Structures are given as structure tokens and as C-alpha cells.
């Protein structure tokens, strides 16, 4: 028996009018680990139960009418729900099967098929879960993008949970929102997004104007904690030697504000805005994660790749950008598109906490595994335990301000690569500038 690690988080709606069969179905589903099971005895009752979101619907075909199962599929389609419908029925006509799939049913399973039909149903649910993990939130993601202006008015800077084109929860942090979702036993396949204000071009221009105040090169990083960590790293590595450049966060909001305007997209916008008459050199350092790599790739063509410096150099000879160098032993983070500055530290450092037990908190994503069993593909979804896949959910500020300064000097050796890269890029800019 192959069970999913997270079956307890899946919300099921069973639509079945035969009580004896319904009881047997519920019993088997509980054996497989499902805990959130709701039932309806007709398509009409199912419509009422759909007011509360569910992940997967398992519906009989013939109940109050011979096409009740079709009515359930149609209702899901009419409401634009992300729920998956599996037809489980004694009715095995080819025409009904074809019609169900055309209407959008996920699967069509005969109750009297050879073998254990409940194991077949469970496998179908697993495959549906894999689908939902990858595509289940597309409609809600699109709805958020299309309604961002309205959402910004009500939820700017907050995390929102959305399902079926409706905001069902909000919080100031992702971890707080996920706690709410868990406590309220909401469906697993909902969308969580941070409603960030768009990049403010006026603020970007103000930041560009500030460059006239500097005579040293300016190195921009994606976030304020990145800046704090690099400043500590310089002191740990080079003592009292003055830093020959200035490190700034690309977040144009005042340090006392709520933040949230930094990141790879803002850094890309800032770098492309620097003009040839800039009084100082400007270098952008992008995280080697999915967002950083995407933004780095969007830099305009007048920033050309330089194999010599492993960076992009601007035609104006005032700007440059590069992705974080890869320290030895961190190749798995690169393969997972997940290398940020915090992951330069050892596991021992990343796990340290303050006296109040504050520090970094991580979330490991779900990964899918596909194997062949008795000639049939079996897909399971389990939580990853690979460090290179994890996401930092909380504690960056505490880590940068309270923990990093207390770390042993040896923890900062990997950061030498970043400073050497800055030096190479500056040397190239200065030599080009002098020509």
C-alpha cells in the first residue's frame, strides 16, 4: 500500500447516495490517512457543500438522477473551482466515460473493477495531488495578477491566502498565515502571495540621484540583510582595512519603513537606470536563485557578458552585475536554483539561535517521486529533506543583526569569493574607463 505523507492535509468531498458503500469508502480513505472528509448524498447537497473549498471530489454518477455525476462536474466548472473531480460509479458505458472527460473530470473509475477499487482510487487521488501541486493554483495566481490594484488597496505588504478567486486569510508574515490555515483546517491547495507594491520608478530615480553623493564605487545587493551580512564579513576577513566601495541595499524605501520594495526585480530596474554620466561605478549582485537568475537574465543587452570577470559589463562602462559566486560544497543549492547569501554559512551557523530562541526558520518544499510498480506508474509526493531545496521563511533580520556578528571568523571564508569578484569587476571597469 503506497500512501502519501500529506494525505492528512487533503480535503475530500464524497458524493454518494448509497449509505453502505459510502461508509465503506470512508473507512478505506481513513486507512490511507485522509482526515478531512465531507460527504453529500446527492448532487444538490454537493452544490451546497461546495460553498466551502475542497481539494478533491469523489462522485457517484447515478444518484437522484442518472446524470448526477455530470451535474457535479458541471458545477465545479461553472464556478471556476480548482477542485478535481473523480467519478466512481457502477455505470461504465463508453459514452458516459467520454462525456465525463470532455467535461473536465480527472478520472472515471468503475466500482466493480477487478482488484481493490479503493487502492486504485487512492492512486488516482495521488496523481491528482501531483497535478494540483504543479497546476492547481494557476487560476488563482492569474486572478491575483489581474486584481493586484484592488488587492494593493486592501492588503499592501501583507500575505494573503486565496482559493477560488477569493481572499480567505491574511497575515503580516507567511508563517503566521500558514499557522492560521493549519488551525482552521483549510484546504491544502490554496495560493499564498505577498501583496508587494510595484517597483516605484520615481523612488528608483531618487536612488540614482543619490549616487552623486559618492566618490567610491557603489555595490547594490537585493536586500538590507544582505548588506548587513557583507559588512560584517568584510570586518571579519579584513579587520580595520577600509572597504574600497560602499554596499547598499536596492530597497529604495527609508530604513524606518516597512520595506518590501527590494529584491531582484528592483535591483534589475536600478542597474538598467544608471547612466553613463554617473559619478561612480555601480555594481549589482544578484542571488543565484530562481528570482535572481531571472532578473539577471532580463538585464538589457547593453550589459554584455564578460568571460574574464564572469559578469555583465555595461556599454556605458559605469555599470556591471554578477550572480553570487558558488562556494565549494554549495553546488546543490545552485542545482536547486536556491543560493542566497545566507547559505554561504555552515549548517552549524544557520541553526544558531539567540538567547530568546530566535533565528532562521526554514520550510522544505514537497517533491514528487515516480516509480513503476507492477508495470504501472506510482507517483508520491513527500516533503524534501535536502538542505539545498529549503526556503528561509523567517528570521533573516535577527540572523543578520544578532547572530552573524558573533560567528567565528572562519565562517566568513566563503565570502572572500564575493569580494574578489567585486575587485575583478572594478578592475575591468576602471581599465575600460581609462581607455
For 12-32, what is each residue's pLDDT tens digit? 999 998 999 999 999 999 998
Q: What pLDDT is stored for residue 114 in this prediction?
A: 87
Annotated domain spans of the chain: 7-135, 138-194, 201-360+395-434
DSSP 346-408: -HHHHT---TTS---EEEPPEEEEEEEETTEEEEEEEE---GGG-EEEE-HHHIIIIIGGGS-
SS3 365: coil
CA–CA separation, 181 and 192 (whole Å)? 10
Label residue 11 by pLDDT band (50, 70, 90): confident
Phi, psi of 89 (to 5 degrees): -150, 160
Give the pLDDT of residue 259.
40
Candidate from 101-110, 141-150, 199-208, 420-429 with smallest mean pLDDT: 199-208
- Condensed to tens digits (0 to 9), the pLDDT of residues 343-399 reads 999 999 999 999 988 899 888 876 666 555 555 555 555 677 889 999 887 889 899
Weakest mean pLDDT among 68-77, 112-121, 123-132, 404-413: 123-132
Nearest of 133, 145, 141, 132 to residue 191 by alpha carbon? 141
Neighbours of 156 (CB within 10 A): 12
30-44, 105-119, 159-173, 342-356, range with the lowest pLDDT: 159-173
C-alpha cell at 318: 559605469
Across the strands, what pairs with 286? 323
321 grid coordinates: 552585475
Q: Is pLDDT at 254 greater than 50 in this prediction?
A: no
Rounded to whole angstroms, the Cα distance separating 109 from 264 reads 47
User: Given this model, what pLDDT does residue 4 score?
Assistant: 45
Copy the grid coordinates of residue 54: 475542497
Work out the angle at residue 398's Cα, subtended by the Cα atoms of residues 393 and 400, and round it to the nearest 5 degrees: 95
366 versus 271: which is more confidently predicted? 271
The CATH class given to the 7-135 domain equals alpha beta
In this predicted model, which residue has the larger pLDDT, 36 or 197? 36
Give the model's pLDDT for residue 367: 66
Give the mean pLDDT of the chain.
85
What's the pTM? 0.61
When pLDDT is averaged across residues 59-77 and rounded to a whole number, the result is 84
Residue 225 is predicted with a pLDDT of: 93
Residue with cell 448532487: 43
What is the per-residue pLDDT for 403?
97
Give the pLDDT mean for 19-46: 91
Closest CA to 236 of 420, 354, 395, 406: 406
Dist CA 149 CA 197 (whole Å): 9
Res 433 pLDDT > 80: no
Rg of the Cα atoms in the chain: 27
pLDDT number for residue 92: 72
pLDDT band at 284 (very low <50, low <70, confident <90, very high): very high
> Residue 173's pLDDT band (boundaries 50, 70, 90)?
confident
Average pLDDT over residues 183-193: 69
C-alpha cell at 271: 542597474
Mean predicted confidence (pLDDT) in 35-46: 90
Length of the chain: 435
Q: For residue 312, count CB atoms less than 10 angstroms from its CB and return exposed for 0-12, middle for 13-18, buried for 19 or more.
A: buried
C-alpha triplet 12, 15, 18: angle, nearest 5°:
130
Edge-first strand listing for the sheet containing 167-171:
167-171, 159-162, 191-194
**pLDDT value at position 134?**
61
Burial of 388 (0-12, 13-18, 19+ CB in 10 A): middle
Q: What is the mean pLDDT of residues 83-108?
A: 86
Closest CA to 299 of 329, 324, 274, 331: 274
Residues in contact with 110: Cβ distance below 8 Å, sequence separation at least 6, in sequence order: 89, 90, 92, 117
Please report the pLDDT score of residue 258 as a whole number: 37
Tell me: pLDDT of 434 over 80.
Answer: no
What pairing do the DSSP bridges indicate for beta strands 376-383 and 338-339?
Answer: unpaired
Amino acid at each position: 500500500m503506497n500512501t502519501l505523507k500529506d494525505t492528512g492535509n487533503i480535503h475530500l468531498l464524497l458524493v454518494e447516495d448509497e449509505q453502505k458503500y459510502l461508509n465503506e469508502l470512508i473507512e478505506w480513505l481513513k486507512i490511507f490517512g485522509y482526515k478531512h472528509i465531507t460527504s453529500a448524498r446527492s448532487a444538490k447537497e454537493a452544490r451546497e457543500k461546495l460553498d466551502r473549498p475542497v481539494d478533491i471530489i469523489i462522485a457517484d454518477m447515478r444518484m437522484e438522477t442518472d446524470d448526477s455525476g455530470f451535474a457535479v462536474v458541471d458545477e465545479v466548472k461553472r464556478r471556476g473551482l480548482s477542485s478535481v473531480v473523480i467519478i466512481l460509479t457502477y455505470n461504465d458505458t463508453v459514452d458516459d466515460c467520454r462525456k465525463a472527460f470532455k467535461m473536465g473530470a480527472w478520472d472515471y473509475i468503475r466500482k466493480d473493477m477487478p482488484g481493490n477499487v479503493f487502492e486504485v482510487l487512492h492512486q488516482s487521488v495521488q496523481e491528482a495531488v501531483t497535478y494540483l501541486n504543479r497546476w492547481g493554483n494557476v487560476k488563482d495566481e492569474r486572478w491575483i495578477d489581474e486584481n493586484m490594484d484592488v488587492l494593493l488597496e486592501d492588503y499592501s505588504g501583507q500575505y494573503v491566502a486565496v482559493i477560488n478567486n477569493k481572499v480567505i486569510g491574511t497575515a503580516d508574515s507567511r508563517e503566521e498565515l500558514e499557522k492560521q490555515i493549519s488551525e482552521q483546517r483549510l484546504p491544502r491547495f490554496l495560493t499564498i502571495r505577498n501583496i508587494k507594491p510595484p517597483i516605484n520608478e520615481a523612488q528608483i530615480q531618487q536612488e540614482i540621484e543619490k549616487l552623486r553623493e559618492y566618490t567610491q564605487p557603489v555595490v547594490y545587493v537585493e536586500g538590507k540583510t544582505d548588506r548587513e551580512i557583507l559588512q560584517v564579513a568584510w570586518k571579519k576577513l579584513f579587520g580595520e582595512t577600509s572597504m574600497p566601495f560602499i554596499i547598499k541595499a536596492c530597497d529604495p524605501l527609508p530604513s524606518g519603513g516597512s520595506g518590501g520594495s527590494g529584491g531582484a526585480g528592483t535591483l534589475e530596474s536600478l542597474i538598467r537606470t544608471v547612466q553613463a554620466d554617473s559619478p561612480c561605478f555601480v555594481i549589482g549582485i544578484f542571488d543565484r536563485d530562481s528570482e535572481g537568475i531571472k532578473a539577471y537574465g532580463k538585464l538589457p543587452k547593453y550589459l554584455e557578458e564578460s568571460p574574464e570577470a564572469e559578469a555583465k559589463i555595461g556599454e556605458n562602462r559605469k555599470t556591471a552585475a554578477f550572480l553570487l559566486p558558488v562556494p565549494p560544497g554549495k553546488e546543490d543549492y545552485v542545482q536547486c536554483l536556491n543560493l542566497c547569501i545566507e547559505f554561504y554559512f555552515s549548517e552549524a551557523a544557520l541553526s544558531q539561535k539567540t538567547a530568546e530562541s530566535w533565528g532562521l526558520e526554514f520550510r522544505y518544499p514537497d517533491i514528487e517521486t515516480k516509480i513503476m510498480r507492477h508495470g504501472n506508474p506510482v507517483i508520491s509526493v513527500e516533503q524534501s529533506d535536502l538542505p539545498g531545496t529549503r526556503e528561509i521563511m523567517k528570521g533573516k533580520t535577527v540572523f543578520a543583526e544578532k547572530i552573524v556578528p558573533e560567528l567565528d571568523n572562519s565562517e566568513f571564508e566563503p565570502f572572500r569569493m564575493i569580494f574578489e569578484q567585486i575587485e575583478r569587476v572594478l578592475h575591468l571597469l576602471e581599465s575600460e574607463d581609462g581607455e
